[in-house]
Structure 1
Amino acid sequence: MSQSVINATPEKVAGVAQRNKPGTGERITRALDRSWRPVALLLVCFGAWWAIAAAELVEPYLVPSPGATLDVLTGKTDYLWQHTWVTTYETLLGFLIAVVVGVAAAVIMVYSTTVEKTLYPILLFAQVVPKIAIAPLFVVWLGFGIAPKILIAVLIAFFPVVISMVTGLKAVDPEMLQLSSTMGANSWQTFVKIRFPASLPHLFSGLKVAVTLAVTGAVVGEFVGANEGLGYVILQANGNLDTPMLFAGLLVMSLIGVILFVLVEIAEKFLLPWHASRRDSGVTTAY
C-alpha cells in the first residue's frame, strides 16, 4: 500500500465515504424511528385488553380491566414498592454474583483445556435441570430467607454469562495474538489489551439475557417459599383470586426486567463506543 493512501483522510480514499456526525434532531428522529413500533404494539395490546374487559367477554375475576389494575398500582403503591424492592435486591445481587463468577470461570476455561473439558459438561447439565424443580431443595437447605432466591437467580443467569464470555475470548483474531507475542507481551498484557476488550461485545450480549433471567430466578425462588417479594405478591393474589393485584405484580415484575435490560444497554453504549453496532458516524465503503 502506498504512503499516499496511508496518509490520506477517509474522504480522499477511492470507494470510501465519510459520514458526518448526526445532530440532535437526527438523533431524536432515529430514537423515535426505533421506538414507535414497540410503543404502537404495546398500545394495541392495551387497547385489546381494554376492549375485552369493556365488552365483558371474560369474567372480571379472570381478566381485570386496565382501570382496576391501575387502581391497585396507585392505591397500594407502598405495599407494591416494599415487595418490588425485595425482588430487585435479590435480582441485582444474584446477577452481580453470576457476572463475577461467570467471567472468572470463562477465563479459566479458555486458558485451561483441562478445566474446560471438566467443567463445561457440568455447566451444561446444571443448565438443563429445571430450576423450579430444585428450588424447593434450596429452601430446605437454606431456609425461607433471601439466600435461596439469590442462589436461583445466580444459577439461571450464570450460564449465558459463561457462554458469551468464552465465545468472546475465543473469537479473538489469532493473528492479533501472534502479533502481541512477537512484540513481547506476556499473557496478562495480552489478556488486558486484546482478549478482554475483544470479548466485551459478546459478554454484553450475554449480560442482557442474564439480567432478565435473574428476575425470573428471583421470582421463582419467591414462588417456592417466601413471605415477601413480587413472587409472594403474585402467589397470594392468585390464591385469593385477586386478579387486579396479580396483573399489577406481573406488570411491575416486567418493568423491572425492562429497566435492568435498558441499564445494561446504556452501559454497553458507554463502554463500547468503538464497536461497529454503536457507531453513529464513521467510514462507509461505497463499493
Structure 2
Amino acid sequence: MNKLDLLPRPQVMPKRPSLAAIRDKARTLVLPVVAAAIVIGCWEAVVRIKHIPNTLLPAPSAVAYRLMETLPFLLGHAVPTTIETIVSFLISAALGIFIATLICKSRLIRDALYPNIVMFQLIPKIALAPLFIVWLGIGSTSRITFAVFISFFPVVVATLTGLMSVDRDLLRLCKAVGADESRIYAKVRFPAAVPHVFAGLKIAITFAMIGVIVGEFITAQAGLGYMILFAASQAEMTLIFASIVVLCVVGLILYGLIVLVETLALKRYGG
C-alpha cells in the first residue's frame, strides 16, 4: 500500500453562498412582491376613496372574495386551457427547433423559407383567427393550431441565432478531426444554443397561452377565456378579475417550469 494512502485526506468543505449572493436572491424575490403589494394597496385605496362600483372596477378584496367563492369552478375551467397551452407549446417548440435546424444546415432552405416565415409573422395574428375556425372547426384543433402559428416564430429566431453563433474556428477544428455534421450539431451547436433556445421558449409559452385564450374567446364552451367572455357579457367584473388571477397563476407555473428546465440544462452544458 502506498504510504500516501495512509495520510488523512483533506476534507472539502461545501462552498457557502456569500452574503452578497444571498442578498441578491432575496432582493429578486422580495422586490416584485413589495411592488405588487404597493400596486394592490393603491388600487384598493382608490376604489374605496372614490367609491367606484364593482361593475366598473372592483376592489382587490372583492376580487379575492369572489375568487375564494368560485375557485373550484375556475380550476375546472383552467384544465382545458392549460392542456391546450401545453400541447401548443410543445408543438411550437419542436417545430421551431426543427425549422431553425433546417435553415442553419442549408443556405438554400434559409433563402427560400426564412423570408416567408418573417412575412407571415408581420400579418396581424388576430385577423387570421377566424380563418383557422373556418378551416379546422370550433374544436380544440383550431385553437391549438392558431396558438402554434403565433408561438413557433420566437423559437425559430432564438434557436437559429444560437446555432449560428458558434465560433467558426471551433467548427473548422471539429471538421478537421473528422466529426460529421450530426455530431457537430449534437456536441457543439446545440449545447452552445441552449441559452438562446430557452429565451425563445419562454416567449413561446406566453404566446401559446395568448393563442389559446383568443381561440376560447371565439369558439370554446369551456376554459378561462370562455369564462372571461361569459363574465363580461354578464357584467361580472369580479368574476373577470378572478378568472384573470387564475390565468396568471397558470401562466406563472408554466413559465417557472421552463425556467427550471433551463437551469438544469445550463448546468448540464456548462452555461
Superposition pairs for residues 224-243 of structure 1, below 5 Å? 224-243=218-237
Tell me whether 1:105 sits opposite 2:105 in the alignment: no
Which of 61, 64, 74 is the equivalent residue of 2:68? 74
Partner of 1:171: 165
Report 1 or 2 for greater relative contact order, CA contacts < 8 Å, sequence distance ≥ 6.
1
Aligned-partner residue type, residue 26 of structure 2: L
Q: Which has the higher helix share?
A: 2
Offset, 1:56: 3.5
Partner of 2:10: none
Partner of 2:187: 193
Q: TM-score, normalised by structure 1?
A: 0.85
Tell me whether 1:150 sits opposite 2:123 in the alignment: no
Partner of 1:41: 35
Offset, 1:253: 1.4
Which of 241, 247, 252 is the equivalent residue of 1:247? 241
Aligned residues: 258
Partner of 1:4: none
- Where structure 1 has 5 or more consecutive residues not aligned to the other structure, the ranges are 1-19, 279-287
Partner of 1:30: 24
Q: Is the partner of 2:50 in helix, strand or coil?
A: coil
Q: Is the partner of 1:36 in helix, strand or coil?
A: helix
Offset, 1:23: 3.4
Which of 46, 51, 57 is the equivalent residue of 2:45? 51
Q: Distance in 2 between matches of 1:142 and 1:198?
A: 38
Offset, 1:25: 7.4
Which of 208, 213, 223 is the equivalent residue of 1:219? 213
Q: Is the 8 A contact 1:215 1:256 kept in 2?
A: no
- Where structure 2 has 5 or more consecutive residues not aligned to the other structure, the ranges are 1-13
Q: Distance in 2 between matches of 1:205 and 1:181?
A: 29
Q: Distance in 2 between matches of 1:193 and 1:256?
A: 35
> Stretches of 4+ moved more than 6 A in 1?
none
Offset, 1:255: 1.8
Partner of 2:204: 210
Q: Is the partner of 1:211 in helix, strand or coil?
A: helix
The more displaced of 72-81 and 24-33 is 24-33
Offset, 1:24: 8.9
Q: Is the partner of 1:213 in helix, strand or coil?
A: helix
